[in-house]
Amino acid sequence: MFKNVNRRREEEKIVRSENRLPPGQSLTNKFPVLHYGTVPRVNLDSWDLNLFGALEENVTWSWKEFNQLPRCSVTLDLHCVTRWSKFDTVWEGVSLATLISEGFIKPKAEAKYVIQHCEHGYTTNTPIELVLQGNFILATHYDGKPITSDHGYPLRGLIGAFSDGAEAKSAYLWKGGKWLRALEFRADDQLGFWEKAGYHNEADPWKEQRFSVDNWMSRFR
């Protein structure tokens, strides 16, 4: 046990020296499971993903159709608002930026935000600029295997920081929704589940944007 603790501390020193560990975070070699609600049962024969709102044309893909879209892989450092960080995680999935550049979806000029709609009515909101970066994907695989049910099978939004230090705005992990079922493109912002509960709307780990008094007070307006 002590050997594992010492190894973790040494690894934490390394990522801190590389400026990869945000303030208030600690390295973990595990992959903690945190989410709202129970793990849903999935029937891939009836599963679909809906993209709607401020688009030239709404789109719905079955699981088979979704897996025929262009795919990518990315290595990311993950930062959870509960203060753990996991480094050099390897994911596979579909890039929203690629879907737009290759014409699979066509957002209207007024599309400024994307709301991720997930099972159990869970939502989270992001500026469109964030989800069009290379460090956000619609993830199906982690570490070469389909993501597990606890981590969002069959599809989740995934946001992290580039492990190689490439510059891109990041966010705490909750800004990628597990068990994703729809993406809503909007001209205006709309607070998601945790944002309405008082979590920060931007969620930048480097600024420790964990909570927002304004978001919490909005519950009583």
Question: What pLDDT, in 10s, does the model give residues 130-181?
Answer: 999 999 999 999 999 999 999 999 999 999 999 998 999 999 999 999 999 9
Q: What digits encode the pLDDT tens for the residues 87-115? A: 999 999 999 999 999 999 999 999 999 99
Nearest residue to 75 via CA among 167, 198, 173, 162: 162
Mean pLDDT computed over every residue of the chain: 93
CA distance 154 to 156: 7
β-partners of residue 156 are 139
Q: Which CATH class is domain 23-28+46-220?
A: alpha beta
Q: What is the mean pLDDT of residues 32-60?
A: 93
**pTM of the predicted protein model:** 0.92
The full set of domain ranges for the chain reads 23-28+46-220
pLDDT at position 96, please?
A: 96
pLDDT at position 37, please?
A: 77
Return all residues near 38 (Cβ < 8 A) that are at least 6 apart.
120
Torsion sign, CA atoms 127, 196, 152, 173: positive
7 pLDDT band, cuts 50/70/90, is confident
